[in-house]
Chains A and B, each alone.
Chain A
Amino acid sequence: MKTAKSLIQRALLGVLVAAVAVAVSAQEKPDRTKPPAIGPAPSLKMPAIQKQKLSNGLEVWLVEHHEVPLAQVNLIVRSGSAADPIGKYGIGSLTAAMLDEGAGKLSALDLADGLEFLGANLSTSSSFDYSAVRLSVPVSKLADALPLMADVSLRPTFPAAELDRLRQERLTGLLQARDNPAALIGMAFPRVIFGPTHRYGTSANGLPPTIEAFTVADLQTFYRAHYRPGNATLLVVGDVTLASAMPMLEKAFGSWKTDGMAPLVAEVPVAPQLTSRQVYIIDKPDAPQSQVRIGWVGVSRSTPDYAALEVLNTILGGSFTSRLNQNLREDKGYSYGASSVFDMRLSAGPFLAAAGVQSDKTAPSIQEFFNELNNILKPIPEEELKKAKNYVALGFPGEFETTGDLARKLEDLVVYKLPEDTYTKFVSSVTSITAADLQRLAARYIQPDKMAVVVVGDRKSIEGPIRLLNLGPVNFITIDELFR
């Protein structure tokens, strides 16, 4: 590190040659024979979560973040696409999308104009696990924007003409998905893993026959059942305090009452696990690359093994130097990138390993995927484990940088009902993971001989070589089937 002598010389230089180019004198000689030593890791100062309730019982969580004069207000409704009734897959997503298409006394165009004029951004969206109305606004305009957000959240009017417009937009989007191998595999893989009945087997937006039939009454039914104060939380992050924000929030959201309809929140059943390996090919004639996904039913977000699975996946396919990316991209050059992920939800989402690979290397690529899926079952070398633990633990503080980052972290606490000390404990839970832990988890969560192999590619050139791998029965799915 610095010596007293060099510090003085630097100070003198600064005085003598203030704006001139730096003269060579004070600097140390670099030792390039090894990477420089790294000092002790910085620790994350988790900001405090302040909790209050509005007069109607609606919970408010607030985190002060005074770096930029922005406020982020997210209304989280703990029901998403997973709450879609059978036969109505897509209604939760459409309900969220329709919230700002007319609300209170305002039309879709009025709402957009009003928000944009304030410099506010408002989005309404949903995932399988929850729905959200998210507002970001300069803190000076928060009081003006909250009534618009409250209209959208509490008083959506679901105009029939706007429903028809969004319906056509979604149907056209699904038509376009037929062109795009990445979109096709995104529909095919969950269908294979979860089947057409389990909610996770169909995309959140739903499929054409269902989308065609949605009515305004369907939207209203979903809305009334799920958008209610007892099923929601307001998350506030930014240049605010409880004292400044609570009166505004009370005024905008305090009158929100339920109409007495019983909530329809049923838990998503855990999908039956796959039991034998099969291959599924979706033909995309003359595609220059094959989209490959290999996986099965994974694990839910509430798993006590969360941190360990993050580390395991980092080693397998969750970082640039992960085994899958090193093998398929750096060593073989078959792909622009290969990766894997445990997509954790309220119920067990998919585990998948994924890559786009050049068509003539489809079968060798699948072979390499299985080599790595088998290798991860063996004990992880100590150096590799250390690298992955450091990558996950030391990179963690960077995930709390912006108001949006912080709000997203709060959303996870609310939706997955995680203990409030989840983030403060995360680094130590990563640090304590051992190679034996990972071997135990890999044996349970990665069983390559039971996984499905799903490929969107040029059948005439890839089918023969894939069959030679003898992975299991080879099935074919037509593109049309994916949209029924």
Chain B
Amino acid sequence: MNRWISLSALILAASVSLGAQQPAALSVPFTQFKLPNGLNVILHRDTSVPVVSVNIWYHVGSGHERPGRTGFAHLFEHVMFEGSMHVPEGSFDTWLEAAGGNNNGSTSNDRTNYYEDLPNNALELALFLESDRMGFLLDDKAPDKINGQRDVVKNEKRQSVDNQPYGQAFIELPAMMYPAGHPYSWSTIGSMEDLTAASFEDVARFFRTYYVPSNASLVIAGDIDVAATRKLVEKWFSDVPAGKPVPALTAPTPVLDGVKKKTLTDRVQLPRLYMAWHTPALMKPGDAELDILSNLLSGGKNSRLYKRLVYEMQIAQDVNASQQSQGLSSMYLIVATARPGQSLDKIQAVIDEELDKLRATPPEAREMTRALNQVEANFYRGMERVGGFGGKANQLNAYFKATGQPDFFQKDLDRYRAVTPADVKAVVEKYLPKDRRVELSIVPGDKK
């Protein structure tokens, strides 16, 4: 769930795509330190354009929500932009724009992230704003702000879920996959009832519990002087009070003990099939293998599922296979939409045939190289840009959360390079069984 998507960005977005293959070691040099209040800080210098990105991750997401308050972590993310003790409501955005800056925030199951991308002369403004809301969010008039953002978030849900064809799948899948009470068993956007019920007391408790310096990490990347930037971080963040340590999110490993099947109706022209399995967590053994598998199944015209379903048989309009990596455990998801007059049963049978082939025979060497070269291309795509959700600043924070090592770029690529054809065969056998999975169909009818 992103805070904001602009129309002009959608209309004018560049469609230029980048790809690469490069044998030299990937390296993003960084300086790391910790403030006495527990804030982790990571600095990276890249002078390609005179821009700096301030990127902060709080290690809290919708998985930390309590029953009856689904959607709260994301609602809270919205409240974070509405001003703090020394920043009047509206000024967070106004001051940044007046300095030529952009910002956004997003919430997942596991974390909430925020960034400000701005010309490097305005770095201190972003540090003032981030430190003020980290240290002094509640000292302002928060009850009003939650009411305003509650309506905005409800409209975000209407726009991105309720008014979207097949949108209910993203509410239904978590509920089918995880037992009640599991942190991943509800969607990040939450329910309308729970959004209505959220109160200022919830904001205060959530802030004091989770938005503490030791539960956050701050990356500053771009055209900076590292020593001077360190001084500025110390200046602005040292008076943020330390909080209590936040215990890590835990949950029993979810297990499916059979095929869970469900059919829903929606006002759609074409049926769509979702198949889902529980898979290893981000960075755990099996995670990279499943990413490679996704490329073999649906990355490009020659990929196995695309080639059969879309290119040759032409019984599907689209097919996508993906490892949805998360902190506690992941979900492997295959989604396919039927062509007019074609049945989901037939599509599912072909998907099973292709998975059976991989259970019997490892993929060929050329397929593997092709997949790896494309994975490497994605790494380079991420190395060119500093800011936004897709740049190096965000990735340094992502690696720090997942592995404790901000510059994990080369090691991450090495995970993929180490995957053998036999490994791919093994993960299909182990993690994608035919008799333990979720099968959700959304078919034409009335919206339910």
Q: Which residues of A are interface residues toward B (Cβ below 8 A)?
A: 2, 6, 10, 21-24, 26-30, 32-33, 35-36, 38-44, 67-70, 72, 74, 108-109, 112-113, 116-121, 123, 125, 134, 136-138, 140-141, 165, 168-169, 172-173, 175-176, 178-181, 286-289, 313, 317-321, 325-326, 329-337, 339-341, 343, 354, 356-358, 386-388, 390-391, 393-398, 400-405, 407-408
Contact = CB atoms under 8 A, between A and B. Distances in A.
A329 B149 CA distance: 9
Contacts of A134: 15-17
A120 to B, nearest CB: 6
Interface residues of B, number: 107
A42 B302 contact: no
Contacts, number: 300
A180 B14 CA distance: 23
B170 interface: no
B125 A320 contact: no
A388 B228 CA distance: 29
A341 B154 CA distance: 25
Given A40-B121, A358-B154, A394-B100, A176 B270 contact: yes
Contact of B100 (A21, A173, A395): A395
B119 A41 contact: yes
A17 to B, nearest CB: 10
Given A35-B128, A336-B156, A116 B22 contact: no
B384 A140 contact: no
Contact of B16 (A30, A136, A169, A333): A136
Contacts of A33: 86
B34 interface: yes
Which 8 interchain pairs have the tightest Cβ spacing?
A394-B100, A333-B151, A119-B21, A42-B50, A404-B16, A121-B19, A119-B373, A339-B7
Contact of B119 (A36, A70, A326, A397): A397
Contacts of B97: 319-321, 387-388, 390-391
B51 interface: yes
Interface stretch (B159-167, B280-288, B430-438): B159-167
A384 to B, nearest CB: 9
5 contacts: A42-B119, A119-B21, A121-B18, A141-B21, A339-B8
Given A30-B235, A333-B148, 16 more contacts: A22-B33, A30-B128, A36-B127, A41-B121, A42-B121, A72-B16, A113-B301, A119-B21, A119-B373, A180-B164, A326-B90, A358-B155, A396-B100, A398-B49, A401-B49, A404-B17
B257 to A, nearest CB: 35
Interface of B: 4-8, 11-12, 14-22, 24, 33-36, 48-51, 85-86, 90-91, 93-95, 97-103, 117-122, 124-125, 127-129, 131-132, 136, 148-152, 154-156, 158-160, 162-165, 223, 227-228, 230-231, 234-236, 238-239, 267-270, 299-302, 307, 311, 314, 317, 337, 339-340, 366, 369-370, 373-374, 376-377, 380, 383-387, 447
A299 B71 CA distance: 42
A125 B15 contact: yes
B24 to A, nearest CB: 8
A318 B10 CA distance: 12
Given A112-B300, A138-B21, A168 B314 contact: yes
A337 B18 contact: no
B7 A340 contact: yes
Which residue among A108, A125, A356 has the maximum number of chain B CB atoms within 10 Å of its CB? A356
B301 to A, nearest CB: 4
Contacts of A331: 148
A237 to B, nearest CB: 10
Given A116-B300, A136-B16, A169 B235 contact: no
A407 B50 contact: no
B317 A169 contact: yes
B93 A320 contact: yes
